[in-house]
Structure 1
Amino acid sequence: MADDNAQGFVIGDVEVFPVVEWAGPYVPLDALVPDLPPEAWREDEDLLVPDHLQGGRAVVALRTWVVRGGGRTVLVDTGVGNGRERPGNQLFHRRQGDFPERLERAGVRPEDVDVVVNTHIHGDHIGWNTHEVDGNWVPAFPNARYLLPAADDRHFGPEGGYAGGTRPDDRLMYEDSVAPVHRAGQAVLWDGTHRLDGGLVLESAPGHTPGSSVLRLQSRGERGVFVGDLLHSPVQIPHPECGSRFCLDPRQAAATRIRVLEQAVEERELVIPAHFGGSGAVRVAKKGGEFVFRNA
């Protein structure tokens, strides 16, 4: 897969660009968004193919967003990571890739990162929080504060029995990608809202996980919103009631998705999910009372 770093954009005075760990057709669209009416994707086929849909399979990307402005470098989500034990997902299990090299080719050295935002605690959003040094997992970004939703930290950590102990991967991902950040004193837990500065604000957006969040960016009158896994495919925009198979509380996730999309329309925010194909971002509007989208 070719580097995707060139497909960035600017919001006001802030540079935003992706570093892609992996991208390609993943699973059939109806397996990713199981409640989607069978005919729904055909309604927007011209907008979905080929960036978001190929051969009936949803195109997804494991993407970290780099947000650079005001002398600060922020990473939004950190992918899967290398060498992780993830027996529940063979795409992630013991993966080996060149993400650190991709990050450096994009002009980002580990010591330059000031803030890491994990929109939620899932294995494909926290993996490069850490790397292995002499057999131990340690923070990959030595000078960064790691912003973690407190509700997810409780749910997926030992306090919540590692998400109730139903999936071995949940304990594994917490212990190799979150616990080392706590031990290093670099973790910052937050609830409700958390302001990074005048132009970046984290807000709770629960449903996908208990602590799922969005990051709002505002600069010089322009706006964007990083929505993490609130959306897995653009086809959910005209059908916001349809969640992904990974949502822990589908009903709450749908209500959150509608609320965030309504604000995106009102504020003219660029919607920036974690996993979309193509440029990774879309514009959202309303037509006839329904949400519509176009690729950014």
Structure 2
Amino acid sequence: MTQATKTYRVGDAAVTRIDELRLAAFKFGALYPDAEPDALERHRDRLEAGSFDPATGTFIQSIHSWLVKTPHHTILIDTATGNDKNRPDIPPLHRLNEPFLARLAAAGVTPEQVDYVLLTHVHADHVGWNTRLVDRRWIPTFPNATYVFSGIEQAYGERLAAGAEPTGAARPDPALGPAARKPADRVYDDSVRPVIEAGLAQLISVNGEEVLDGVSFIPTPGHSIDHASIRLVSRGQQALFAGDVMHHPLQVYEPSLNSCFCEFPEAALRSRASVLEDAAERGATVFTTHFAQSSVGRIDRRGDRFAWQFI
């Protein structure tokens, strides 16, 4: 990664990005296949060089985790892609060999010191470092951590991994609208089930209630069946870890854009609109998962539109 890593303060909490990959893999039509052709042109001059290559028309993105240190806990929010994961259908993520744990160590944290792993959703590039390969077995990377994530995401992933039709709690709420796609294969088997089998998972309802002091999971479904954004409140300051509500700053300017990875497009649009309104109203610091540059910024309302400013 070329962007220098900075630690941000949110009240008593310190937040640091732990890098995995910098990507220049998508052009507009690939990342946003259902978009109006002129949506990019309307905002091209707002996209900074660190986020968009005008010569090639390629978006620049990042995959990383957020390390949050509070006075009482050491927390990781999402765990990127992981090494050695078999992802032939996603070539940029296939069988990686990245020094993610060395970067975590450089931030002063060993895997054993992580108390909580908070997952916005169960996709390949958000749960990969949940586990690591040891003697041909996937074992939890953070052996002393509690892994907190949606019970609906877990149930849905379990049924799909078994090749079964989702039923009961795993059945998508009709309010989400039609499903356009499903999660990638293998992810549940190598990155989620081993954590559950080790007794480290805490499955929750994503309902806005606190799961730790000042930390709550906010419902933002659509990108996945029960996607959550994670709110941190400390000493009157607020942060929002937005997960995959947006993949690039362009979606702040054009909220109608759904990425090619959104599973329930209708719900994804509603959740994006809600996050933009909420973050602008609260003045929250927004920590993104795939924006490049600092990956951190604020959202401001400009009439009936929104704007993004990196910080």
TM-score, normalization: structure 1? 0.93
Native 8 Å contact 2:159 2:165 kept in 1 = no
Task: Please name the residue that 1:149 is paired with.
Answer: 150
The answer to whether the aligner puts 1:290 opposite 2:290 as a matched pair is no
Q: Percent identity?
A: 34
Paired with 2:259 and 2:134, the residues of 1 have a C-alpha distance of: 35
Q: Secondary structure at the match of 2:268?
A: helix
Q: Which runs of 5+ in 1 are unaligned?
A: none
Map Cα deviations across residues 149-170 of structure 1 (whole Å, 9 max, x no partner). 1121111213674586999983
Task: Please name the residue that 1:189 is paired with.
Answer: 203
Native 8 Å contact 1:207 1:250 kept in 2 = yes
The answer to whether the aligner puts 1:261 opposite 2:261 as a matched pair is no
Task: Please name the residue that 2:88 is paired with.
Answer: 87
Q: Secondary structure at the match of 1:214?
A: strand
Map Cα deviations across residues 228-263 of structure 1 (whole Å, 9 max, x no partner). 000001111121121111001111100011011111
Which runs of structure 2 are paired with 1:67-216 in the superposition (5 Å)? 67-158=68-159, 161=162, 170-193=184-207, 194-216=209-231
- Residue identity opposite 1:12 in structure 2: G
Q: Secondary structure at the match of 1:91?
A: helix
Task: Please name the residue that 2:253 is paired with.
Answer: 238
Change (3 A) 1:39 1:207: same
Task: Please name the residue that 2:5 is paired with.
Answer: 6
Q: Secondary structure at the match of 2:156?
A: helix
- Residue identity opposite 2:38 in structure 1: E
Map Cα deviations across residues 75-98 of structure 1 (whole Å, 9 max, x no partner). 011111111111111111111111
Larger mean CA deviation between 38-47 and 247-256 belongs to 38-47
Larger mean CA deviation between 123-132 and 193-202 belongs to 193-202
Q: Once the 2 structures are TM-superposed, how far is the Cα of residue 132 of structure 1 from its aligned partner?
A: 1.5
Map Cα deviations across residues 180-235 of structure 1 (whole Å, 9 max, x no partner). 00010001111133423231111221100011000001112211100100000111
Larger mean CA deviation between 29-38 and 180-189 belongs to 29-38
- Residue identity opposite 2:194 in structure 1: P
Q: Once the 2 structures are TM-superposed, how far is the Cα of residue 119 of structure 1 from its aligned partner?
A: 0.6
Change (3 A) 1:40 1:171: closer
Paired with 1:294 and 1:239, the residues of 2 have a C-alpha distance of: 15
- Residue identity opposite 1:30 in structure 2: G
Paired with 1:162 and 1:11, the residues of 2 have a C-alpha distance of: 43
Native 8 Å contact 1:86 1:169 kept in 2 = no
Native 8 Å contact 1:52 1:59 kept in 2 = yes
* Count of residue correspondences: 295
Task: Please name the residue that 1:21 is paired with.
Answer: 20
Q: Once the 2 structures are TM-superposed, how far is the Cα of residue 146 of structure 1 from its aligned partner?
A: 0.3
Native 8 Å contact 2:206 2:226 kept in 1 = no
Map Cα deviations across residues 128-148 of structure 1 (whole Å, 9 max, x no partner). 000112221110001100012
Native 8 Å contact 1:120 1:211 kept in 2 = yes
TM-score, normalization: structure 2? 0.89
Native 8 Å contact 2:153 2:226 kept in 1 = yes
- Residue identity opposite 1:223 in structure 2: Q
Q: Once the 2 structures are TM-superposed, how far is the Cα of residue 12 of structure 1 from its aligned partner?
A: 1.4
Q: Once the 2 structures are TM-superposed, how far is the Cα of residue 40 of structure 1 from its aligned partner?
A: 3.1
Task: Please name the residue that 2:57 is paired with.
Answer: 56
Paired with 1:97 and 1:192, the residues of 2 have a C-alpha distance of: 31
